[in-house]
Amino acid sequence: MRHSYYEDSARERLLGLLDEGSFREILPPTERVVSPHLRQLDTPAAFDDGIIVGKGTLDGHSVLVAAQEGGFMGGAVGEVHGAKLTGLLERALDERPAAVLLLVESGGVRLHEANAGLIAVSEVMRAVLAVRAAGVPVIVLNGGQYGCFGGMGIVSRLCDAIVMSEEGRLGLSGPEVIETTHGVEEFDSRDRALVWRTVGGKHRYLLGEATVLVDDDLAAFRAAALSLIGSTPDLGLEAMEAEHARLGERLRRFGDCRDALDVWERLGIAEPERLPILDTETFLATVSDKRA
Amino acid sequence: MESLTFEYQGGRPLASAPPATLVGVVSSGNLEVLVEPTDLGGACRIEVLTAAVGFGAIWQAVLDDFFDRHRIADVRISINDVGATPAVVSLRLDQALEALTGGQP
Amino acid sequence: MDAKTLLERLFPGGCDVAFDDVYFSGTGQCNNTDVAVLGTVDNTPIGIELAYRMAGEVLDVVRNHPGRPILLLVDTQGQRLSHRDELLGINGYMAHLAKCIDLARRNGHRILGLVYSHAVSGGFLASSMLADTCYALPDAEIRVMNLPAMARVTKIPLERLTELSTASPVFAPGVGNYLRMGAIEALWEGDLADCLAKALAAPVAGDRRRAFGEERQGRLLARPVADRVRHDAV
């Protein structure tokens, strides 16, 4: 029976993802390490500042994990939240787990603590890069209702792999911000189909931004994460130059596309307008040799 | 924001001392409830931090009802609330206790 | 200070930098060391093409000039806000630039950042903030968002934000705030060539921004919280 990743809270996701009884939270809510800045702004705080970090096992493999709670301030990164994530990544340098799993759900930098949040995201970026350089894979899971935007959208693409469901969203600037700044003609943030074509899981998978596309099902996320443990990416110059070539090719092939439908058509997909309505299995079969 | 504290006497301690539990999310219309078994000399203490100011009497009623139904001692309950309705508050409190005791009284 | 004047003051001995629209790159001489220079002008938004171009420049330096220090002089209003940039994965292009800068670092290149004009949000994150050390000119502008926009989005009254920002460096724009919070190591004034020479000679020791933030009382929790998560027994 399917257990929706989308509907779950961050805590529920973690507990459902890891081996039963294996999760040990680091700096749990009982420590009450809350944001002092939110209090100053008369804004409610959370005992875990919106991120759960800890360790557990995935099919017996030792993993360090973090899960952002989108329900709290959109999962946005503040001083404490960011420090918990950085500390977890640095712990991976000491413990060398089989992987670090990041269950992302974030609007990016928390405006109430804007400078602290921005610097925190930068420290997370440095830490992710250090962990990867040490040979520990960092795997992103993205399928929550708040999506993953802002600095966390950049962090996600620093990692080894991204597992997304169709429901997940991944980008940099949220559609609402673009609409507010440049108008509805530039991006109609209320056009849900447009939003998901642009930043949703299926498009990200086709473009090569997401590694694996799974059903909105905790077991599917778990299986995908498991399959990615043990990958050791090449971070050398040749690999980076190859990636650079791929990204250059993307600009050349799709630089003048007006909409995702144009991109999908150019990828050689026969009926691109049908892609959003296909279930995951059919979608994957349809696009199997057509990804960018 | 408003800070409220309630204390109840005459409850029964839990059969065992399970680890602390947290349920809920600090989002609009919702709340998080942290329940910790701890020696309070037999008291049940409930600390509320809420974004909805001026509802002290309603909190009193909801928490009185909660204590009536569960009558627990040596438990500290901490709440971060963002304007949840009494029904949601009661639900979360019950969920928290259930998660804590695993359904055992 | 405009970029050309900046380059003259950084490299009084001469430099060979080409400007192409909002982008510039080249080499400057500092104490007989060639320093790769890469930057932008005009408070430019960084979109997929610019991020890609900068990444390519960094890869070029790594491929062709082993060990050469890299100086980032990025003047930006932040990421470009457009449907097209999102469609084609601007977060991925920013991350790619970040990975290239990190590759350079791991391959032994010193990476320095100097905020000489504007540094905002995503544009800042994907460039200067990845330096080993980031400096700023005293009249530079660093921010996530201006206060009126922040007030609109957070629904906190502008008066309250303004009032709090006089005492707290946590959210308001300002080079001083970023200095206090540890993201900017120091301000460069006077003899910029000398500042550069000293910065190039300084030892590299990982990401020390949390330590600075704590010392300078701008960020009191980041260092201890990260340390606890790293070391606490579970």
Compute the nearest-CA separation of A130 from chain C (Å).
9
Yes or no, beta carbons of A154 and C150 under 8 Å apart: no
Number of domains forming the structure of chain A: 1
In chain A, the residue whose alpha carbon lies closest to the alpha carbon of C144 is A114
HEC profile of chain A: CCCCCCCCCHHHHHHHHCCCCCCEEECCHHHCCCCHHHHHCCCCCCCCCCEEEEEEEECCEEEEEEEECCCCHHHCECHHHHHHHHHHHHHHHHHCCCEEEEECCECCECHHHHHHHHHHHHHHHHHHHHHHHCCCCEEEEECCCCCECCHHHHHHHHCCEEEEECCCEECCCCHHHHHHHHCCCCCCCCCHHHHHHHHEHHHHHHHCCCCEEECCCHHHHHHHHHHHCCCCCCCCHHHHHHHHHHHHHHHHHHCCCCCHHHHHHHCCCCCHHHHHHCCHHHHHHHHCCCCC
The pLDDT assigned to B103 comes to 61
Mean pLDDT of C84-107: 98
Q: Chain C partners of A37 at a C-beta cutoff of 8 Å?
A: 168, 170-171
Q: Would the CB atoms of B80 and A44 count as touching at under 8 Å?
A: yes
- Chain A hits for C225, CB-CB cut-off 8 Å, are 27, 33, 79-80, 83-84, 87
For residue B105, is pLDDT > 60? no
Q: Are A228 and A139 a contacting pair, CB within 8 Å?
A: yes
Residue of C nearest to A150 (CA): C122
Binary contact (B34, A47; C-beta < 8 A): yes
Provide the pLDDT confidence category of residue B102 given band limits of 50, 70 and 90.
Answer: confident
Cβ-nearest to C230 among A90, A198, A259: A90
Nearest to B26 among A11, A39, A46 (CB): A46
Asked, for residue A155, whether it belongs to a domain, the answer is yes
Domain that holds residue A121: 10-170+210-232
C45 neighbors C123 (Cβ within 8 angstroms): yes
Is B95 within 8 Å of chain A by CB?
no
CB contact under 8 A, C222 and A83: yes
Q: Is residue A259 part of a domain?
A: no
**Residues of chain A positioned with their CB less than 8 A from the CB of C48:** 251
Instruction: Indicate yes or no: CB of C103 within 8 angstroms of CB of A235.
Output: yes
Residues C124-152: tens digit of each pLDDT:
999 999 999 999 999 999 999 999 999 99
Q: What is the pTM of this model?
A: 0.97
**Chain-centroid distance, C-alpha C21:** 20
The alpha-carbon gap from C12 to the nearest alpha carbon of chain A, in Å, equals 32
Residue A14 lies in a domain: yes
Contact C178 A117 (CB under 8 A): no
Distance from CA of A265 to the nearest CA of C (A): 14
Query: A with C: how many residue pairs have Cβ under 8 Å apart?
Result: 251
Report the alpha-carbon distance of residue C234 to residue A24 in Å, rounded. Answer: 6
**Do the chains contact at C88 and A250, CB–CB below 8 Å?**
yes
pLDDT higher than 70, residue B30: yes
Give the per-residue pLDDT at A115: 97
**Interchain CB distance below 8 Å, B25 and A44:** no
Subunits with 3+ C-beta pairs closer than 8 A to B: A
> What percentage of chain A exceeds 90 in pLDDT?
98
Q: What is the ipTM of this complex?
A: 0.98
Put simply, the answer to whether C226 touches A251 (Cβ < 8 Å) is no
What confidence category does residue C29 fall into, taking pLDDT thresholds of 50, 70 and 90?
very high
Mean pLDDT computed over every residue of chain C: 96
Check pLDDT > 60 for residue A213: yes
CA distance A216 to chain B (A): 21
Q: A158 lies in a domain? A: yes
Q: How many domains does chain B have?
A: 1
Q: For residue A26, is it within any domain?
A: yes
Domain span holding position B15: 2-101
pLDDT value, residue A243: 97
Spell out the residues 6+ positions from residue A290 whose beta carbon is closer than 8 angstroms to its own: A206, A267, A268, A269
CATH of the domain at B91: 3.30.230
Mutate one of A72, A73, A110 to test the B interface: name it (highest B CB count within 10 A). A72
Residue A233 — pLDDT band, cuts 50, 70, 90? confident
Within 8 A of A15 by CB-CB distance, chain B residues are: none
Domains along chain C with CATH numbers: 3-138+187-202 (3.90.226.10)
Task: Provide the pLDDT confidence category of residue B104 given band limits of 50, 70 and 90.
Answer: low
Q: Does A198 map to a domain?
A: no
- Across all residues in chain B, what is the average pLDDT? 94
- Given the DSSP bridges, would you call strands A51-58 and A61-68 parallel, antiparallel or unpaired? antiparallel
Q: What is the pLDDT of residues B50-95, one digit of tens each?
A: 999 999 999 999 999 999 999 999 999 999 999 999 999 999 999 9
Largest CA distance in chain A: 56
**Whether pLDDT at A191 is above 90:** yes
**Res. C156 pLDDT band, cuts 50 70 90:** very high
Which of A112, A119, A203 is the closest to C181 by Cβ? Answer: A119
Nearest Cα to Cα of residue A4 among A220, A249, A195, A218: A218
Q: For C65-76, what is each residue's pLDDT tens digit?
A: 999 999 999 999
- What pLDDT score does A94 carry? 98
pLDDT tens column, A136-175: 999 999 999 999 999 999 999 999 999 999 999 999 999 9
From the CB coordinates, do chains B and C have 3 or more pairs under 8 Å? no
Q: Indicate which CATH number applies to the domain containing A20.
A: 3.90.226.10
Residue A156 domain flag: yes
A79–C170 CB contact, under 8 Å: yes
Considering only alpha carbons, which residue of chain B is nearest residue A46?
Answer: B26
Residue in A29, A44, A46 nearest the CB of B51: A44
Is residue A91 within 8 Å of C230, Cβ to Cβ? yes
Res B15: pLDDT: 84
